[in-house]
Copies of this chain bind each other. A is one copy, B any other.
Amino acid sequence: MAGEALLEELRATLVHGNPERTATLDTTLRFVAEHGLGPQSLPVEIIQLVGDRWSALMLTVLAAGTFRPSELQKVVSLLSHIGNSNSISQRVLTAKLRSYERLGFVRRTAWDTVPPRTDYDLTPLGHELVKIIRDIVLWCLDKEDDVRSAIQAFDESEDE
């Protein structure tokens, strides 16, 4: 692959002013070069898809079962009001659902009835994703105190 020459260039650049950089740097760069964590890579695209205002909440709720869009909107909106946040708009809700569906995280089931009815639920892949999200959330909650004190210290040292 094209990475070898690149890694050599990086090595030359970085060791220049800091000769003691060697092993761990090399393995890390190699990891990134092989897997490609650039903005276009699939991992980053997935992270971006989930890293927005509503996805953590939406997907976590969806993990509880099957929902119609109007139900989901109401549940998500009510739950977000706990934190004094606004409601999710229908526009954003359907857009996110379609994104999840495209990547295979949710399944869409539509009936030809009047009035129309559509159900959304997670695929097995989606359930795996939610499991990861829950791990992240739990870690964040576990570190909440550390982060908050860091924020406070930073902000205080700013407006001195």
Residues of A that sit less than 8 Å from B by CB: 2-3, 6, 9-10, 13-14, 18, 21, 24-25, 28-29, 31-33, 35-44, 46-48, 50-54, 56-57, 60-61, 63-66, 71, 74-75, 78-86, 101-104, 125, 128, 132, 135-137, 139-141, 143-144, 146-151, 154-155
Contact = CB atoms under 8 A, between A and B. Distances in A.
Given A103-B151, A140-B46, A155-B102, A60 B32 contact: yes
B83 A36 contact: yes
Contacts of A150: 102-104, 125
Interface majority SS on A: helix, strand, loop or mixed?
helix
A125 B43 CA distance: 22
B31 A60 contact: yes
10 contacts: A6-B79, A10-B79, A29-B79, A32-B60, A37-B79, A42-B141, A46-B136, A104-B146, A104-B149, A132-B136
B48 A52 contact: yes
Given A9-B78, A132-B136, A37 B51 contact: no
